[in-house]
Homo-oligomer: A and B are copies of this chain.
Amino acid sequence: MLKFRKIPAETIRRMPRYLRAFSLLGQEGQAYISSQALAGQLHLKPPQIRKDLSYFGDFGTRGVGYPVSDTARRIREILKLDVAQKAVLIGAGRLGTAIASYPGFAMFGFDIAAIYDNSPAKIGKKLAGLTIQDIQTLSGIAEQRIRLAILAVPSESAQACATLLVDAGIRGILNLSPSWLKVPKRVKVVSIDLAMELGTLLFYL
């Protein structure tokens, strides 16, 4: 049993980037990649990559590199992506609509199992094969054992929705609204702010 609590949060943050890289290399038919080559692609340093991956076992072979498909499979296991994972989508606006049909989720074993909104104009309509449900009935997801949520609502609604999600037993929230969520410690939030990611790029121009 690995002592997951001792693994730095920043290492965990990089694991999906490694998985993405190994998955894409596998699609291209590459069998092995060195930490040097991987570092070049990901703008990281080779020792950083070797250290990160070493937390989870001996992935690579000196002089040969990392076996691409095997490493992808093992990272998928580590991140629990080897079994289908249900998620609930909150918000059926423009961003929610884009997310409901985003092909990447299915590719990595995620299944958007339910969609909620608070707008009477949207509730009852179909989106990506699902009927949009009333956010006030969100507590029903506890029975479905859904633990992940994607929050794609305007800033002003984000905290209220997060509170409903926590009450419904959600344990992880992917927050796409440009706002700060207050949740209990047991609930993990990852926030993506597209504008801020664009900000990283500017630095290098």
Contacts and interface: CB of A to CB of B under 8 A. Distances in A.
Contact of A174 (B8, B21, B190, B198): B198
B201 A44 contact: no
A194 B197 contact: no
A87 interface: yes
B148 A196 contact: no
Contacts of A3: none
Contacts of A144: none
Instruction: Please give the count of copies of this chain that the complex contains.
Output: 2
B15 A199 contact: yes
Interface in A95-111: 95, 97-99, 101-105, 107-108, 110
B202 A81 contact: yes
Contact of A80 (B17, B95, B171, B202): B202
A13 B148 contact: no
Contacts of A188: 43, 201, 204-205
Contacts of A45: 8
A104 to B, nearest CB: 4
Given A79-B202, A94-B98, A148-B201, A195 B15 contact: no
Given A79-B200, A174-B194, A188-B204, 12 more contacts: A9-B43, A10-B44, A16-B197, A20-B191, A25-B180, A80-B202, A97-B98, A108-B198, A172-B198, A176-B194, A188-B205, A192-B192
9 nearest A-B pairs in the assembled complex, by CB-CB distance: A172-B201, A16-B196, A104-B195, A94-B98, A98-B98, A24-B180, A104-B178, A95-B98, A16-B199
